[in-house]
Amino acid sequence: MNLWSKYGLFIMMVMIYNPYIMLSQTNIKVGYIGGFTSAPDLNGIISNFNEDFVSKHGGKIYDELDRVKSLHGLEIGIRHRINNVGFELSWHNMSDKSDMYGELPTNPTFQTKWFTSLTEYALGVENYFGKLGYGAAIGYRTLRIKTDIKGAQRKKRAISTQSGLVSRFYLLFQYPGEKVGIAFKPYVQVPLKSLSLTDFDRELNLLADDAYQVSNPIEEKFTLFGISIVLYNGRQ
């Protein structure tokens, strides 16, 4: 038996007796992700602003600034699966926006737009039991709050950019296919760091009160409950 035959036999034996090589698979994923949050501190700022706009500043509201209750967006990533264990590298961006229209004694055509987004890079591990499974991930998440620039269409001004680590725990229900598979992943995301809302509080209230000053620092964790629905390419 020559050297190449021996080498080929060795490779074949390794593949036969090592199921991790035989059953590994790499897939690209893309899909929807949504999250729901109570965000009591952020929404407290918004509710107080709406109330003060009328009671304190003598204004009228035709369409109030909405509280941030849910965010929706895109998730993409790559998964490497070995038998019943998978490793995922993911990126996602969720966002929400709200417009406010009203009238102040000093500004009869008051209007403002606000944009909130959460962007995250994450590394996760999953375990599978047939079509069911569970997973956990650690991520680096960035909160961005922006507002419109008056007189400049589609231009935004960044008010606050805060980042911190988050953990995510989720269940998964997967339906594999020959070419494309789909997975549903309900999750809970628990931040490991509070994020400052002081700049947002100040900038929002200065729109109605030029003398407004922040009395105390305000922070928010943004705990999320949500679901991601993703497609995986290739045989599952």
Q: Which domains does the chain have, with CATH numbers?
A: 24-233 (2.40.160.20)
For residue 5, is pLDDT > 80? Answer: no
Q: Is 118 helix (H, G, I), strand (E, B) or coil?
A: strand
For residue 232, is pLDDT > 50? Answer: yes
Reading the block at residue 87, the tokens are 């490793």
Q: Tell me the pLDDT tens digit for each residue of 216-230.
A: 889 999 999 999 999
How much is the mean pLDDT over the chain? 90
Confidence of residue 12 (pLDDT cuts 50, 70, 90): very low
Find the helix or strand (DSSP H, E) in which 4 lies.
helix 3-17
Angstrom CA distances, 111 to 103, 108, 185, stand at 8, 9, 38
Q: Look at residue 135 in the predicted model and tell me its pLDDT.
A: 98
Q: Residue 194 phi/psi, 5° resolution?
A: -80, 150
Reading the block at residue 229, the tokens are 């629905």
Q: Residue 233 and residue 77: Cα distance in Å, rounded?
A: 11
Nearest-5° angle of CA 171, CA 173, CA 176?
140
Q: Is 18 helix (H, G, I), strand (E, B) or coil?
A: coil
- Residues 143, 163 contacting (CB under 8 angstroms): yes
